[in-house]
Structure 1
Amino acid sequence: MTNQDRNIDAERRAIRQLDPTESNRIAAGEVVERPASAVKELLENALDAGASRISIAVADGGKTLIRVTDDGHGIARGELALALCRHATSKLDGDDLVNIRSFGFRGEALPSIGAVARLRLSSRVAGAEAWEISVNGGALADPVPCTLRGGTVVEVRDLFHATPARLKFLRTDRAELQAISEVVKRLSLSAPAVAISLRDVSGGGEGRVIYSAERADPAARMEAVLGRDFRTNAIEIDAVRQGITMTGFAALPTYSRGAAVAQFLFVNGRPVRDKQLTGALRGAYSDFLSRDRHPAVCLFLTCPPSEVDVNVHPAKTEVRFREPGLVRGLIVSGLRQALAEAGHRASTTVADATLGAMRPEAAAQPRIYQMDRPSLGDRPAPYSVQPAPTGFADDGSGWAGARTEPAPAVPDQVEETPAYPLGVARAQLHENYIVAQTPDGMVLVDAHAAHERLVYERLKAQAAARSVPSQALLIPDIVDLPADDLARLADARETLSAVGLDIEAFGAGAVAIQSVPAALGQVDGKALLTDICDELADQGTTTRIADKLDAILSRIACHGSVRTGRRMQAEEMNALLREMEATPHSGQCNHGRPTYVELKMKDIERLFGRS
Structure 2
Amino acid sequence: MTIRHLSETIINQIAAGEVIERPASVIKELVENAIDAAATRIEIVTAGGGKTLMRVSDNGCGIPVDELTLAVSRHCTSKLTDDVHDIRALGFRGEALPSIGSVAKLTLKSRPEGADSGFEVSVSGGHMEGPRPTALNRGTIVEVRDLFFATPARLKFMKTERAEALAITEVVKRIAIAFPHIRFSLAGTDRTPLELPATGTGAEATLERIAQILGKDFADNALVLDAEREGVRLSGFAGIPSFNRGNALHQFAYVNGRPVRDKQILGALRGAYADVIARDRHPVAVLFLTLDPALVDVNVHPAKADVRFRDPGLVRGLIVGAIKQALSHSGIRPATSGAEAMLQAFRAEGLQPRGSQAFGSNRWNNPAPRNEWSPQTAHPAHRPLDLGQPASLREESTPILGDIVMPSADVRAGQGEAPAELLKKPLGAARAQIHENYIVAQTEDSLVIVDQHAAHERLVYEALKNALHSRPIAGQLLLIPEIVDLPEEDAIRLAAHAETLARFGLTIEQFGPGAIAVRETPAMLGEMNVQQLIRDLADEIAEHDTSDGLKSMLHHVAATMACHGSVRAGRRLRPEEMNALLREMEATPGSGTCNHGRPTYIELKLSDIERLFGRR
Give the TM-score taking structure 2 as reference length.
0.88
Q: 1:265–1:300: 8 Å Cα contact kept in structure 2?
A: yes
User: Are residue 430 (structure 1) and residue 435 (structure 2) matched?
Assistant: yes
- CA shift, 1:225, in A, is 1.6
CA distance change for structure 1 residues 536 and 66 in 2, over 3 Å: closer, same or farther?
A: farther
Measure the CA separation in 2 of the matches of 1:440 and 1:404.
29
Q: 2:199–2:206: 8 Å Cα contact kept in structure 1?
A: no
- CA shift, 1:278, in A, is 0.5
Measure the CA separation in 1 of the matches of 2:480 and 2:419.
52
Measure the CA separation in 1 of the matches of 2:437 and 2:409.
19
CA distance change for structure 1 residues 405 and 152 in 2, over 3 Å: closer, same or farther?
A: closer
Match of 1:344 in 2: 332
- Deviation track 1:428-479 (CA, whole Å, cap 9, x = no partner) reads 1111111112222321111111111111112222321032222333333222
Q: CA RMSD in A?
A: 2.8
Residue number among 149, 157, 161 corresponding to 1:169 in the alignment = 157
- CA shift, 1:64, in A, is 0.4
Q: After superposition, where does 1:373-522 map in structure 2 within 5 Å?
A: 381-385=374-378, 406=396, 410-411=407-408, 417-418=420-421, 419-482=424-487, 485-486=490-491, 488-489=493-494, 492-522=497-527
- Deviation track 1:27-69 (CA, whole Å, cap 9, x = no partner) reads 1111111110110001001111111111110111111000001
- Give 3-state SS (helix, strand or coil) of 1:86's partner: coil
Measure the CA separation in 2 of the matches of 1:264 and 1:378.
55
- CA shift, 1:281, in A, is 0.4
Residue number among 276, 298, 307 corresponding to 2:264 in the alignment = 276
- CA shift, 1:319, in A, is 0.8
Q: Which amino acid aligns with 2:274?
A: S
Residue number among 6, 9, 18 corresponding to 1:18 in the alignment = 6
Q: 2:458–2:591: 8 Å Cα contact kept in structure 1?
A: yes
Measure the CA separation in 1 of the matches of 2:439 and 2:502.
35
- CA shift, 1:494, in A, is 4.1
Q: 1:408–1:570: 8 Å Cα contact kept in structure 2?
A: no
Measure the CA separation in 2 of the matches of 1:585 and 1:220.
26
Residue number among 548, 552, 556 corresponding to 1:547 in the alignment = 552
- CA shift, 1:156, in A, is 0.4
Match of 2:574 in 1: 569
Match of 1:607 in 2: 612
User: Are residue 590 (structure 1) and residue 591 (structure 2) matched?
Assistant: no
- CA shift, 1:375, in A, is 12
Measure the CA separation in 2 of the matches of 1:466 and 1:367.
61
Match of 1:106 in 2: 93
- CA shift, 1:588, in A, is 1.2
Q: 1:492–1:548: 8 Å Cα contact kept in structure 2?
A: no
Match of 1:397 in 2: none
User: Are residue 257 (structure 1) and residue 245 (structure 2) matched?
Assistant: yes
- CA shift, 1:301, in A, is 0.8
Q: 2:252–2:259: 8 Å Cα contact kept in structure 1?
A: yes
CA distance change for structure 1 residues 32 and 379 in 2, over 3 Å: closer, same or farther?
A: closer
- CA shift, 1:377, in A, is 11
Q: Which runs of 5+ in 1 are unaligned?
A: 1-12, 390-402
CA distance change for structure 1 residues 165 and 449 in 2, over 3 Å: closer, same or farther?
A: same
Q: Which amino acid aligns with 2:303?
A: A
Match of 1:400 in 2: none
- CA shift, 1:528, in A, is 1.3
Q: Which runs of 5+ in 2 are unaligned?
A: 380-384, 388-392, 400-406, 413-417
Match of 1:212 in 2: 196
User: Are residue 190 (structure 1) and residue 178 (structure 2) matched?
Assistant: yes
Q: 1:267–1:301: 8 Å Cα contact kept in structure 2?
A: yes
Residue number among 528, 533, 540 corresponding to 2:533 in the alignment = 528
Worse-superposed segment, 299-308 or 406-415: 406-415
Measure the CA separation in 2 of the matches of 1:334 and 1:145.
54
Q: After superposition, where does 1:31-430 map in structure 2 within 5 Å?
A: 31-94=19-82, 96-128=83-115, 129-202=117-190, 208-216=192-200, 217-360=205-348, 361=350, 363=352, 381-385=374-378, 406=396, 410-411=407-408, 417-418=420-421, 419-430=424-435
Measure the CA separation in 2 of the matches of 1:105 and 1:487.
57
Q: 2:395–2:574: 8 Å Cα contact kept in structure 1?
A: no
Q: 1:122–1:154: 8 Å Cα contact kept in structure 2?
A: yes
- Give 3-state SS (helix, strand or coil) of 2:597's partner: coil
- Give 3-state SS (helix, strand or coil) of 1:104's partner: coil
- Deviation track 1:567-587 (CA, whole Å, cap 9, x = no partner) reads 111111111111111211111
Measure the CA separation in 1 of the matches of 2:25 and 2:546.
35
- CA shift, 1:383, in A, is 4.9
Q: 1:117–1:137: 8 Å Cα contact kept in structure 2?
A: yes
- CA shift, 1:537, in A, is 4.9
- Give 3-state SS (helix, strand or coil) of 2:43's partner: strand
CA distance change for structure 1 residues 18 and 468 in 2, over 3 Å: closer, same or farther?
A: same
CA distance change for structure 1 residues 490 and 311 in 2, over 3 Å: closer, same or farther?
A: farther
Measure the CA separation in 2 of the matches of 1:533 and 1:237.
38
Q: 2:345–2:351: 8 Å Cα contact kept in structure 1?
A: no
CA distance change for structure 1 residues 27 and 481 in 2, over 3 Å: closer, same or farther?
A: farther
- CA shift, 1:135, in A, is 0.8
- CA shift, 1:22, in A, is 1.1
Measure the CA separation in 1 of the matches of 2:351 and 2:458.
38
- Deviation track 1:526-576 (CA, whole Å, cap 9, x = no partner) reads 321332344345548562332122111111111111011111111111111
CA distance change for structure 1 residues 378 and 182 in 2, over 3 Å: closer, same or farther?
A: closer
CA distance change for structure 1 residues 506 and 220 in 2, over 3 Å: closer, same or farther?
A: same
Q: Which amino acid aligns with 1:210?
A: L
- Give 3-state SS (helix, strand or coil) of 2:500's partner: helix
- CA shift, 1:385, in A, is 3.7
Measure the CA separation in 1 of the matches of 2:465 and 2:443.
30
- Give 3-state SS (helix, strand or coil) of 1:406's partner: helix
- Give 3-state SS (helix, strand or coil) of 1:141's partner: strand
- Deviation track 1:83-131 (CA, whole Å, cap 9, x = no partner) reads 112111111112x112211001111111111111111111112233311
- Give 3-state SS (helix, strand or coil) of 2:110's partner: strand
- Give 3-state SS (helix, strand or coil) of 1:460's partner: helix
Worse-superposed segment, 524-533 or 441-450: 524-533
- Give 3-state SS (helix, strand or coil) of 1:563's partner: coil
Match of 1:4 in 2: none
Q: Which amino acid aligns with 1:573?
A: M
- State, as a whole percentage, how many aligned pairs show the same letter: 54
User: Are residue 579 (structure 1) and residue 572 (structure 2) matched?
Assistant: no
CA distance change for structure 1 residues 24 and 377 in 2, over 3 Å: closer, same or farther?
A: closer
Q: Which amino acid aligns with 1:469?
A: A
Q: Which amino acid aligns with 1:406?
A: E
- CA shift, 1:358, in A, is 2.3
- CA shift, 1:24, in A, is 1.4
Q: Which amino acid aligns with 1:114?
A: G
Q: 2:472–2:502: 8 Å Cα contact kept in structure 1?
A: no
CA distance change for structure 1 residues 54 and 471 in 2, over 3 Å: closer, same or farther?
A: same
Q: 2:492–2:510: 8 Å Cα contact kept in structure 1?
A: no
CA distance change for structure 1 residues 548 and 162 in 2, over 3 Å: closer, same or farther?
A: same
Q: Which amino acid aligns with 2:464?
A: L
Q: 1:478–1:512: 8 Å Cα contact kept in structure 2?
A: yes
- CA shift, 1:193, in A, is 1.3
CA distance change for structure 1 residues 108 and 238 in 2, over 3 Å: closer, same or farther?
A: same
Q: 1:49–1:73: 8 Å Cα contact kept in structure 2?
A: yes
Q: Which amino acid aligns with 1:411?
A: S
CA distance change for structure 1 residues 148 and 363 in 2, over 3 Å: closer, same or farther?
A: same
Match of 1:398 in 2: none
Give the TM-score taking structure 1 as reference length.
0.89
